[in-house]
């Protein structure tokens, strides 16, 4: 039983009430076994609506338990409960859960750990498995940010800190006590289950003097590789191993771990760094006070902000494990290709409104110039019940509205006034779908971590500049592309993903930068039920909330 409730928490010199689950921040870790049937009753103990999403769980035939408000369910209203029921099939590793309404996920999030049925595909014995959740902290309340953005067409204020497991770390004011410390024993190997729950920033992460071995991303195994730092977008998870082997006599036994953003933006932006420590047992570190902020040296291999070369190289090393036991099921052919441009837009300010976006206009964001508007009801329910679809339509444009050439062109001229509406596209059960995501953002300063619900996908190609069907399809990796649920579309570039659309339901697809989702950088697709009984969406549970 999970209760969403307010709790007073002190961070960065002041106290505020935040939404929590079971009074914990970050929320409780949900540990399940591969293949297990899971039931989680969520009770809304506050006076605002809520929902919970199990990020990355495929929800095979159980779209009712997916969680995005107004897409697969109406919100759980104050005082109500809803039991999310699903089976964990064909996935193992690290995922996470978070609120999926307004900006509640700023504080309502936690880890999901799926223990594999078979032993880990790496032989090193693991001493401990440690969830590492990156987050962002705002001194002001976050629940109303989206309302303000809607009202003024503005951007959000930047956060006041990044956090590791809810703790900003001692580089921030009043935060010496709020620093994450992990004790380790010399010679042992540890598993970090890393989750980027931050709202708006991709992060680099490194531990001084220690090498990280990446073994799994988004609950799917990778070919293990060593790296000095990782890059992780909001929405993504990465499981890494490291061995505590740096306990030499010239060291104190205390090592800094740090996360900081990969990209800066021109908007108010938090460019600070969150740190924690590894502390070796039986060393000086055990009896030592933590160093003063001015004495802290960040890991020298933590990449600098804007280190595109590092980020690109890191991402290119991620490959599916592709063994007999865990084959890479990337579709080698496709039945349907959808090309989607991703834009940030400026919309003219309606008369009688005050707009605080840019140049007196409103910010918006769109896919194929279509800015997503959440309907007042559950799209999944309307789809299932075959209600005449006045609330949404299935005519999302499957090609960019303009011939795209965004290199060297002033993107502002392409990006005015998107269309607003609730448009999705529909595919038959079993479609081998390719989606090409092409970034076109004006100002062009961000990756867009695009997340798809209900399916994992294979990232068969990425590149900079304009996507070119002929040239780029020839270079696809159809052997061992990484399997994920969230892809960072390179800024000023593209990513091609392939999906076996074998999960009937309505699936949200959106940028996992919360500000962009709020501006409408979203769409979704409907996978129709197949002919066999096992290819159909299950009926809705009885306690499904109503709008």
Question: Which residues of the chain form contacts with ligand C2O (CB under 6 A)?
Answer: 53, 55, 68, 98, 100, 235, 451, 453, 508, 510, 512
- The minimum distance between CB 396 and ligand C2O, in angstroms, equals 17
Rounding to the nearest 10 degrees, give the CA dihedral for residues 375, 379, 381, 387.
80
| Smaller CB separation from ligand C2O, 260 or 512 | 512
The C-alpha atoms of residue 176 and residue 184 are separated, in whole angstroms, by 20
Nearest to 32 by CA among 82, 85, 98: 85
Render 158-224 in DSSP notation, one character per residue.
Answer: PPSEEEETTB--TTSTT-SSS-EEEEE-TT-EEEEEEEE--SS--EEEEETT--EEEEEETTEEEEE
- The minimum distance between CB 389 and ligand C2O, in angstroms, equals 21
- The minimum distance between CB 447 and ligand C2O, in angstroms, equals 16
Pairing of strands 220-227, 212-217: antiparallel
The C-alpha atoms of residue 515 and residue 523 are separated, in whole angstroms, by 15
Strand, coil or helix: 77: coil
| Smaller CB separation from ligand C2O, 218 or 472 | 218
| Smaller CB separation from ligand C2O, 374 or 536 | 374
Helix H or strand E encompassing 329: none
Helix H or strand E encompassing 16: strand 14-21
| Smaller CB separation from ligand C2O, 97 or 221 | 97
Give the nearest residue (CB) to ligand C2O.
55
Instruction: Provide CB contacts within 8 A for 128, sequence distance 6+.
Output: 188, 190, 191
- The minimum distance between CB 480 and ligand C2O, in angstroms, equals 25
Residue tagged 């110039």 (tokens)? 369
* Other residues' Cβ atoms within 10 Å of the Cβ of residue 291: 14
The C-alpha atoms of residue 345 and residue 370 are separated, in whole angstroms, by 10
* Other residues' Cβ atoms within 10 Å of the Cβ of residue 40: 17
- The minimum distance between CB 435 and ligand C2O, in angstroms, equals 16
Residue 263 token pair: 């990209």
- The minimum distance between CB 453 and ligand C2O, in angstroms, equals 6
| Smaller CB separation from ligand C2O, 11 or 53 | 53
Pairing of strands 30-33, 522-527: unpaired
Q: Are 204 and 231 in contact (CB under 8 A)?
A: yes
The C-alpha atoms of residue 307 and residue 282 are separated, in whole angstroms, by 37
| Smaller CB separation from ligand C2O, 210 or 510 | 510
| Smaller CB separation from ligand C2O, 57 or 275 | 57
| Smaller CB separation from ligand C2O, 170 or 236 | 236
- The minimum distance between CB 246 and ligand C2O, in angstroms, equals 34
| Smaller CB separation from ligand C2O, 97 or 205 | 97
Nearest to 340 by CA among 430, 401, 431, 406: 401
């Amino acid at each position: 039983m999970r209760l969403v409730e307010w709790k007073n928490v002190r961070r960065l010199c002041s106290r505020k009430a935040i939404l929590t689950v079971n009074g914990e921040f970050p929320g409780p870790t949900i540990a399940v076994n591969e293949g297990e049937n899971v039931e989680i009753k969520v009770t809304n103990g506050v006076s605002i609506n809520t929902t919970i999403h199990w990020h990355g769980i495929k929800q095979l035939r159980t779209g009712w338990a997916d969680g995005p408000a107004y897409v697969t369910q109406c919100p759980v209203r104050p005082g109500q409960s809803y039991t999310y029921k699903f089976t964990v099939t064909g996935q193992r590793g690290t995922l996470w859960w978070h609120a999926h309404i307004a900006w509640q996920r700023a504080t309502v999030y936690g880890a999901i750990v799926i223990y594999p049925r078979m032993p880990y595909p790496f032989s090193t014995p693991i001493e401990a498995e440690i969830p590492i959740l990156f987050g962002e902290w705002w001194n002001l309340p976050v629940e109303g940010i989206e309302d303000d953005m809607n009202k003024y067409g503005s951007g959000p204020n930047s956060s006041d800190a990044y956090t590791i497991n809810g703790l900003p770390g001692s580089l921030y004011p009043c935060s010496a006590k709020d620093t994450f410390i992990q004790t380790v024993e010399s010679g042992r190997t540890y598993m970090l289950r890393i989750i980027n729950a931050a709202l708006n920033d991709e992060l680099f992460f490194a531990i001084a003097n220690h090498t990280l071995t990446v073994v799994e991303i988004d609950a799917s195994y990778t070919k293990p590789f060593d790296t000095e730092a990782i890059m992780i977008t909001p929405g993504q998870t990465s499981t890494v191993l490291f061995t505590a082997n740096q306990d030499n006599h010239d060291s104190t036994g205390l090592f800094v771990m740090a996360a900081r953003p990969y990209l800066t933006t021109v908007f108010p932006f938090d460019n600070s760094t969150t740190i924690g420590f590894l502390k070796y047992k039986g060393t000086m570190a055990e009896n030592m006070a933590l160093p003063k902020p001015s004495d802290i040296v960040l890991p020298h291999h933590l990449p600098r902000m804007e280190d595109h070369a590092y980020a690109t190289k890191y991402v290119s090393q991620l490959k599916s494990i592709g063994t007999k036991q865990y084959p890479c099921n990337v579709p080698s052919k496709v039945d349907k290709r959808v090309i989607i441009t991703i834009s940030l837009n400026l919309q003219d300010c309606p008369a009688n409104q005050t707009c605080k976006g840019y140049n007196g206009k409103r910010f918006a964001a769109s896919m194929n110039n279509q800015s997503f508007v959440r309907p007042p009801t559950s799209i999944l329910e309307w789809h299932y019940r075959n209600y005449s679809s006045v609330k949404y339509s299935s005519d999302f444009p499957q090609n960019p509205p303009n011939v795209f050439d965004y290199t060297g062109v002033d993107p502002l001229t392409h990006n005015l006034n998107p269309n607003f509406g609730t448009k999705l596209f529909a595919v038959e059960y079993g479609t081998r779908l390719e989606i090409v995501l092409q970034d076109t953002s004006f100002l062009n300063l961000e990756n867009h971590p695009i997340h798809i619900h209900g399916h994992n996908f294979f990232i068969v190609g990425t590149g900079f500049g304009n996507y070119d069907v002929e040239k780029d399809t020839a270079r696809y990796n159809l052997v061992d592309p990484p399997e994920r649920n969230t892809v960072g579309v390179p800024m000023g570039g593209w990513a091609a993903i392939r999906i076996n659309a074998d999960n009937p339901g309505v699936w949200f697809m959106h940028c996992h930068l919360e500000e962009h989702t709020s501006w409408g950088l979203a769409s979704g697709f409907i996978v129709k039920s197949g002919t066999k009984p096992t290819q159909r969406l299950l009926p809705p549970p009885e306690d499904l909330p109503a709008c």
